[in-house]
Each structure stands twice: as structure tokens, then as C-alpha cells.
């Protein structure tokens, strides 16, 4: 079976889309030199994430409005799609998207492009804190057929909800791609034992294992706004094993794998032969404050 080289980027992001674009174009070239078939960038890599999730910053809201782009025809979006074509690889990147009809409607979006151009987008469904004041939520979790396998995308907070990746896996997603802006709990101290780093690791490994699929995470690194991002852009295999990791620094993590064969082994051999998707039984909604059922 064909081998696929997956790369994920950990990068600092600034509130200057042209500067971010220049860095991203350079990283796409670097990934191509590594032989990558897929390279993943963080959430909001193009414009930069909000200054905080717990305090509404009107200046940053205005910045997001002024620098949002339509998909797929925004000028910087187009440049990244063209780079995917030129370098003949798949690229996933995050941005603030403007609705092509309504200028006041913004989305927290990730775009998937490939050797033949634009493939599709995903708009973040689960919105924490003050994202609710800036972005409109997306709807649904699409899966895209590509030359390197079926790709499903999620963004940051989506990872906290098992239904997100399960919905993608049940549609046949083999590679779960998660751009994120995931910060340290303590913005003043970058520590490997920080609770948010531990939770990030736990969520990522579990989501890969419970769906027996590949998980590719790309995170911001270094301070931006009121937050300090820890990096650790990772590639996690279908058994929940971290196969490549940038650590808490800027860089690219890369691994070459047989995507299909590793999933076949994970679902038929590795976990005592248990196939989690085949054995999955949907749990009905329950009655209660968080359930949709009725008495």
C-alpha cells in the first residue's frame, strides 16, 4: 500500500496577515522538501487568534472584521491554495472567513487544498468563551475524499467533544486533522507539566484511539495577545501513540506512514482485535438538563 508523509507545523502567529502568509508559504516549501503529502497549520494561522477567550476585545474584533477573507477566493487564501498546487501537496490552514454575501458574518474556518486546488472547508461548530461574540457557528462535519485518504477536520474546542471525531470517523474519515490555538493555563510560565498541556495530550490520544484513526494536530507557539501557546503539533497513530511532535518550540513534525494499513491493523489486530466503530452502539438521548429526550 502507498506510503503517505504527513507534516504538521508549530508556528508563532502575529496580528499581521501578510507576515503570517509569508511564514506559511515558507513552511509549505519546507514541507515539500521533506516529501510531505499533507502539511497542517494552526487555527487562525492567517489572521491570528483572538487576544483572549475570556474578555471581549473590541479592537481585535475590528481587526478580524477588517482582515477576514472569503473562501476560496480571498487574496491570501488564494495564495495558499496556489502554493498547494505548485508544491503538489495537501495543505490545511486556519483563518477568519467572511461570508461571501454578508460582511458582518464571520467564521472560524479551516481550508483544505490539494495538488488540484481547493477541496473544501470546515467552520468551527463548538465555540468557547468570546468566540461566540465574534464568529457564527458552523454546521456539520464534512469528510473529503483526497488522493491520500479521507480527511475530516475539526478545530480546537471541538476536540473536547467525542461526538465530533466520532461523526467524522463514522463517515469514513481516516485522517482527523485538528488545527488549534491551545494555550498554557499559566501564561506567565511555560511548563511541560502545565495542566492544559496534559489535557491537550489526553484529548488527542483518546480521540485517535477511540476512533482507531490518524490524528494530526497543529498548534500555535509563543505568546500572542493575552495567551501563551505551547506548540506540541503532533501526529498520533490509530492506537493513540504519538508518532511525531514538535515539542514546545517552532518547527515541523513529520512522519511517513501507510495510512490504510495502520488503520486495518488497529481495527482488526492491535487492540485484541476489537473494531470500535463496528461495535459502536449509539446511546439514546437522556432526559435531564443536558439531554434531548422527554419524559
Quote the pLDDT of residue 97. Answer: 98
Mean per-residue pLDDT of the chain? 96
Provide the pLDDT for residue 288. 78
Q: What is the mean pLDDT of residues 190-218?
A: 96
- A 10 A CB-CB count for 213 gives 29
Determine, yes or no, domain membership for 20.
yes
Q: Which is it for the CA torsion 1, 30, 69, 178, positive or negative?
A: positive
SS3 category, 220: strand
Is-above-0.95 flag for pTM? yes
**Domain count within the chain:** 1
Q: Is 290 a domain residue?
A: no
Asked whether residue 112 is domain-assigned, the answer is: yes
**Averaged pLDDT, 11-39:** 98
The continuous run of DSSP H or E covering 66 comes out as helix 58-67
Contact criterion met (CB below 8 Å) for 141 and 164: yes
Return d(Cα 117, Cα 105) in angstroms, integer: 25
Asked whether residue 293 carries a pLDDT value surpassing 60, the answer given is no
Q: How many CB atoms lie within 10 A of CB 51?
A: 18
Residue percentage of the chain with pLDDT more than 90: 91
Residue 284 domain flag = no
Q: Is residue 225 part of a domain?
A: yes
In a domain, 286, yes or no: no
User: What average pLDDT does range 85-110 have in this prediction?
Assistant: 98
Euclidean distance between CA atoms 151 and 147, whole angstroms: 10
* CA 113 – CA 135 distance, rounded (Å): 23
Has residue 122 been placed in a domain? yes
Task: List the strands of the sheet with 175-180, edge to edge.
Answer: 143-146, 149-153, 175-180, 214-219, 234-236, 242-245
Question: 211: domain CATH number?
Answer: 3.60.110.10
Residue 86: strand, helix, or coil: helix
Amino acid at each position: 500500500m502507498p506510503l503517505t508523509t504527513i507534516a504538521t507545523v508549530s508556528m508563532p502567529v502575529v496580528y499581521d496577515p501578510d507576515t503570517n502568509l509569508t511564514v506559511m508559504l515558507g513552511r509549505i516549501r519546507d514541507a515539500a522538501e521533506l516529501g510531505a503529502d499533507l502539511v497542517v497549520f494552526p487555527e487562525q494561522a492567517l489572521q491570528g487568534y483572538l487576544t483572549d477567550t475570556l474578555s471581549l476585545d473590541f479592537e481585535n474584533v475590528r481587526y478580524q472584521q477588517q482582515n477576514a477573507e472569503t473562501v476560496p477566493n480571498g487574496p491570501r487564501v488564494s495564495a495558499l491554495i496556489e502554493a498547494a498546487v505548485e508544491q503538489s501537496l495537501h495543505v490545511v490552514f486556519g483563518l477568519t472567513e467572511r461570508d461571501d454575501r454578508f460582511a458582518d458574518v464571520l467564521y472560524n474556518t479551516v481550508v483544505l487544498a490539494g495538488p488540484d486546488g481547493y477541496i473544501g472547508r470546515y467552520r468551527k461548530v463548538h465555540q468557547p468563551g468570546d468566540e461566540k461574540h465574534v464568529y457564527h457557528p458552523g454546521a456539520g462535519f464534512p469528510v473529503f475524499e483526497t488522493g491520500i485518504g479521507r480527511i475530516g477536520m475539526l478545530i480546537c474546542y471541538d476536540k473536547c467533544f467525542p461526538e465530533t471525531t466520532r461523526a467524522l470517523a463514522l463517515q469514513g474519515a481516516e485522517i482527523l486533522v485538528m488545527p488549534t490555538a491551545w494555550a498554557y493555563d499559566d501564561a506567565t510560565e511555560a511548563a511541560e507539566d502545565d495542566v492544559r498541556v496534559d489535557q491537550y495530550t489526553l484529548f488527542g490520544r483518546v480521540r485517535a484511539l477511540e476512533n482507531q484513526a490518524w490524528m494530526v494536530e497543529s498548534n500555535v507557539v509563543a505568546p500572542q495577545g493575552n495567551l501563551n501557546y505551547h506548540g506540541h503539533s503532533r501526529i498520533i497513530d490509530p492506537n493513540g501513540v504519538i508518532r511525531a511532535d514538535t515539542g514546545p518550540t517552532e518547527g515541523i513534525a513529520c512522519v511517513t506512514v501507510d495510512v490504510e494499513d495502520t488503520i486495518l491493523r488497529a481495527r482488526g489486530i492491535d487492540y485484541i482485535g476489537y473494531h470500535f466503530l463496528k461495535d459502536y452502539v449509539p446511546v439514546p438521548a437522556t432526559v435531564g438538563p443536558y439531554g434531548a429526550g422527554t419524559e
